[in-house]
Structure 1
């Protein structure tokens, strides 16, 4: 089987910008484009196959259901992961996501919880994220929210290009202004807003908050998970392993010249985040450019990459 390349779905957001167009050369619908859903089977934005020709135009959710052999005959009924590029021209709302059980009970059967991770592609000088909070009890958390004591409650973390953050369900978080990230997450569109800086729309209305759900699902006290980031390879090319949890593993294929990667898992999702080059699979060479996103199905056991590029990669666990 050949690599399966996909066409992104671009989503406008009030906090979005134009970097998906300027930097990634994607056809943004406006200068408030916040997200490129690069690989997605979620009904809020399903990506379609662009190649190989025999699959062209097929939505990923349909391909996953109709040809499960490409994905190792998986146990999951729906395509389990979602890859995004996010351009935060302004800060996102402070938010939290539920686990699978809460999402299924409160958001409808089939909706997953949302554990995610972020790779910082670029960050403006002084850029920060919200990552965690200071409350030690649920009562303290609720009290601080009700009093609007956000400076005391929220924990801000400065970020720079190349940083990696793991954001399990229940983690209070927000992407700050001036940051572009590659996000790998469970296939979910469930977000509970805790705080939106009292921003208003053109009619003077603030965006809806979801305080009760946030109180239900927020991890209290906050715990920052430990990461053991490992690197294998040499100066020509390296595989950086960031994370393995119950949902996915995340890697970066980082090469200056050439990198050969074995692929023992059922299938892999990949997005080019810098540079350009090529990928050889079973003797066939595929050119790769910035923002190309593709799936390497089950029967591809090895790829050879050449060029000067970085690719973020995930596989379901």
Structure 2
């Protein structure tokens, strides 16, 4: 087994018509245009596999690490549940413009239709412009017939729930829930490993070639949760210098850590990899085999075979992700 010191990866940049410059301006991501929409920090999605950027394993793909060290990297219980595949995808997103209105199918639909995982996700808001909001769910219970009629009459927006946001707000987006990130929002996203999205409305925008983007109207009909639900805003404790539970779902567990000083954790019995996303400040993170620095907008992966994790900091806010 390789010595699995704390691993950082090259960002995988994705450009969309709704992207902007904040991933570069705020986090120093290697953007080449003014439409940088997503920085994939940790990915095993086909054709978008992360590459180690630090230490002796630099240049090694995440897939190769899994091929060589799956149980040591992921944890025995994680391999038993998900196989030798990395089960989550980590991103930072900059929405300069409104994203399309969309939803994600559950595991059963995704498997039968696309031989894929579904896509359950969570968002942590890192930066907002004044008046920024999200669309999450409906503003009333809607029937499938009402929904279809709204598409035909171009009145879907009248049925949707708008949520104002500010830094630190956190949202859990379960499968089937209609949602969209609004203009002026930068966020951290944690999700199942899947790039499966059903786009249902895109504000009638056209791309550089004058074409409307593809919609998935028929596929979405049986995937949508038509009930109005107030189950998406995550209220979490913010006690300093400890791990505060934000989300604990079958696909990932996320804690919020507001550290004012150093922290040592014994993780011998965790039996899961650990990811830290830095959402403010900076820290040095070490395990049994080495250490690396992390600052706002960066991500680090620690293997399940780690027994101790030390975080040295004068101030950092971290999202700690495990399974």
- TM normalised by structure 2 equals 0.90
Q: Which stretch shows the higher mean deviation, 89-98 or 247-256?
A: 247-256
Q: Secondary structure at the match of 1:141?
A: helix
Note the residue ranges of structure 1 that are not aligned, 5 or more in a row. Answer: none
Q: 1:185 aligns with which of 191, 199, 205?
A: 191
What is the aligned-residue RMSD (CA, Å)?
1.9
Q: 1:24 aligns with which of 4, 23, 27?
A: 27
Which residue of structure 2 aligns with residue 71 of structure 1?
74
- Distance, in Å, in 1 between the alignment partners of 2:86 and 2:203 is 34
Deviations 1:37-80 (A, max 9, x none): 00111114211112330x22111123113311222231213211
Cα distance in 2 between the residues matched to 1:207 and 1:292: 31
Please give the TM-score of this superposition, normalised by the length of structure 1: 0.92
What's the offset of the Cα at 1:28?
0.6
Q: How many residues align?
A: 311
In 2, the alpha carbon distance for the partners of 1:293 and 1:249 equals 16
Change (3 A) 1:137 1:187: same
Q: 1:103 to 1:162 in 2, by over 3 A?
A: same
The match for 1:7 among 7, 10, 15 is 10
Please give the alpha-carbon distance, in whole angstroms, between the structure 2 residues aligned to 1:262 and 1:153: 48
CA distance in 2, matches of 1:160, 1:93: 21
Higher strand share: 1
Whether the 8 Å CA contact 1:113–1:169 is kept in 2: the answer is yes
- Partner of 2:282, secondary structure, is strand
- SS of 1:10's partner is strand
Residue 4 of structure 1 and its aligned partner are, at CA, apart by 1.8
Equivalent pair of 2:172/2:234 in contact (CA under 8 Å): no
Give the unaligned 5+ runs of structure 2. Answer: none
SS at match of 1:217: coil
In the other structure, the counterpart of 1:106 is 113
Paired residues of 2:171 and 2:232 also in contact (CA < 8 A):
no
